[in-house]
Chain A
Amino acid sequence: MSTTTTRGVAQPAPAKASPARPRRGLRGNATVNFWLFTGPFLIGLVIFVFVPIFWSIWLSFFDARYTVTPSKFVGFDNYTQILTNSEFPDSLLTFTVFAAFIVPTTWALSLGLALLVNRLRFMRAFFRSVFFLPTAVSYVAAALIWKMSIFSGVRFGLMNTVLGWFGVDNIAYLANPSPPWYWLVIVTLRLWIQAGFYMILFLAALQNIPAELYEAAAIDGAKPGWQTFRYITLPQLRATSTAVILLLLIAAYQAFDEFFNIIGQKATWAQTPLMELYKTALGTSQDYGAGSAGAVILSLLICLVTLIQGKFMGFGRGEDSK
């Protein structure tokens, strides 16, 4: 790799170059090969990722109802419309609260499970599988079980059956927003599906912590338990924690599947930002302009939250690989 000679283009004498020939041939082909390998992906990326993104930004400045080839430029009207005249800002606010709640709880639960499983000596693989298995279940399937079996508002629902043993009346979990029992439904569902996946990440990180650190701490008189956890385990998990929180934040703002299926579009509460965009762009009004404006706002918001989080916790990955 260190032999980029100055004569690059010039043809060397063929006889002399025989030992270097294969390598020089490869180098000459590098550009062609690079595009052969990455070309198909890049073409697809441009068509199906870059084009939609720029089309969306472009559409957001036009009056685009029922049409995707608009002609009337409206400046920031779509932005003011979706920010003042719709449920979209409310849903952004609600989901900031949702993220502020679900991110730390999932982080804590998955870390807790990882710590427990990591200590097991027998049946470790079994318990790991049990906690990991829900990752295989779709949000739609889980929504179905949660809505129709566990938190069914009627008597045969699991929660109401169990509460009935203690003399508690049936609770209609999903029927109305006050009190907001539906949060219990959504949060438990998300915890169940997500915790196992992040537990695996924490398990991998836990196993990478050198045992010497714990030994050194023991020599210095650190009590096992909270102290070693606070001063060794937690700092050593920093990079993983950053990544996990980042992924959880993005996932929280992109919530759609289970809300769509459990709460539904007709309800006036717990409409996620994506559900609002879905209704705006693909609902009866087919307002692609306002929908695109909302999509741009949501993307910017997610980027902003990501950057702030990265600023506070440091981007643990991506940087060190260069």
Chain B
Amino acid sequence: MTTTTPPAGKQRDKGRGVFGNTGLYIAVGVAAVLFLIPFYLIFRNALSTDLEITGENWKVLPSFQWGNISELFNDPTVEFGRSMVNSLVVAVSTTAGTLLVCSLAGYGLARIPYRHANKVFYAVLATLMVPTAVTFVPSFVLVSSLGWVDTYRGLIIPGLFSGFTCFLFRQYFLGFPKELEEAARVDGLGYWGAYWRIVVPNSLNFFAAIATITFISAWNSFLWPLVIGQDPSSWTVQIALSSFMTNQTVNFHLIFMATAISILPLVFVFLFLQRWLVQGIAQTGIKG
């Protein structure tokens, strides 16, 4: 039993890979190429002529038709620029509003000693059980009776009250070191002051992670803008893209250019904020 206890490090090295390090890198490499192909196709086709996309002689690199960009934005049959602006307004306001409203509520639920706080929390938890996508019929009915169809209000406000985001903030604030706040309170700050001067400045990482996640889901959301946006001038970029697919008059290179432009902001957000994002997702309490 006790004869050989090889150094743990060595044992773990043997555990690295049924097929050794080279095999491991080949496997990961192949998977990575497969995962990158769709990105390659978008950007290649976006910078091609239609003939290069559909023609006989398929080349790896396109002829870099940068003019496709201006052609897309100048095309009078699609309001692509307008839809980008709409998406930007909706995604930015949704993110800002959600952060404000949900973080305050999460803090209240986690930290303010109110007798019925738990009951309120269960009411919030209950909303997680009802799938959001399923409520689109009654939500549409509500929003249309408020006269908010085709408006920014209709696109933004119903999305601000996410039970899930509130829940994440509550979990996060439960783990926030109490000592910091207590010191602030001894110094005479109220909850409001402690929240803004102590808690928020020390939680920027978490806020950034939630902001990124909220921004991405707002930018990418489809069903609600589809239901709400009846006039093309209120379309978000996802609805505009979707309309390209059924609209036969639009050319291939414009469709792909539109797709490329619609994902580019998020790809940048991803690459630059990745550290926060990964931490945030890992930290959102799902790790159990």
Which residues of chain A have a CB within 8 Å of any CB of chain B? 1, 22-23, 26-27, 29-31, 33-38, 40-42, 44-45, 47-53, 55-56, 59, 68, 113, 116-117, 119-120, 127-150, 154, 156, 158, 161, 192, 196-197, 200-201, 203-205, 208, 211, 214-215, 218-219, 224-225, 228, 238-240, 242-244, 247, 250, 253-254, 256-257, 260-261, 264, 274, 277-278, 281-282, 288, 291-292, 295, 298-299, 302-303, 306, 316-318, 320-321
Q: How distant is B87 from chain A, measured CB to nearest CB, in Å? A: 10
Q: How far is the CA of A313 from the CA of B16 in the complex (A)?
A: 29
Residue contact A33 to B245, C-beta cutoff 8 Å? no
Residue contact B262 to A141, C-beta cutoff 8 Å? yes
Residue of B nearest to A196 (CB): B35
B107 within 8 Å of A (CB atoms): yes
Known: A45-B163, A142-B38, A274-B134. A161 touches B120 (CB 8 A): no
Q: How distant is A177 from chain B, measured CB to nearest CB, in Å? A: 19
Q: How distant is B36 from chain A, measured CB to nearest CB, in Å? A: 6
B138 within 8 Å of A (CB atoms): yes
B60 within 8 Å of A (CB atoms): no
Contact of A225 among B18, B166, B195, B282 (CB under 8 A): B18
B61 within 8 Å of A (CB atoms): no
Residue of A nearest to B27 (CB): A116
Q: Which residues of A contact B54 (CB under 8 A)?
A: 154, 156
Q: Which residues of B contact A139 (CB under 8 A)?
A: 220, 222
Residue contact B245 to A147, C-beta cutoff 8 Å? yes
- Of residues A131, A140, A256, which shows the largest number of chain B Cβ atoms within 10 Å of its Cβ? A140
Q: How far is the CA of A240 from the CA of B288 in the complex (A)?
A: 6
**Tally of B interface residues using CB under 8 Å:** 109
Residue contact A22 to B185, C-beta cutoff 8 Å? yes
Q: How distant is B240 from chain A, measured CB to nearest CB, in Å? A: 9
Q: Which residues of A contact B104 (CB under 8 A)?
A: 37-38, 40-41
Contact of B220 among A45, A138, A292 (CB under 8 A): A138
Q: Which residues of B contact A59 (CB under 8 A)?
A: 137-138, 141
B67 within 8 Å of A (CB atoms): no
Residue of A nearest to B280 (CB): A200
Q: Can you spell out 21 A-B residue pairs with CB atoms less than 8 angstroms apart?
A: A30-B114, A37-B107, A45-B161, A48-B139, A48-B161, A49-B130, A132-B274, A136-B216, A141-B259, A143-B245, A149-B256, A156-B53, A196-B35, A201-B281, A201-B282, A215-B11, A224-B11, A224-B12, A225-B18, A254-B131, A321-B285
Q: Which residues of A contact B15 (CB under 8 A)?
A: 214, 224-225, 228
Q: How distant is B1 from chain A, measured CB to nearest CB, in Å? A: 9
Q: How distant is A157 from chain B, measured CB to nearest CB, in Å? A: 10
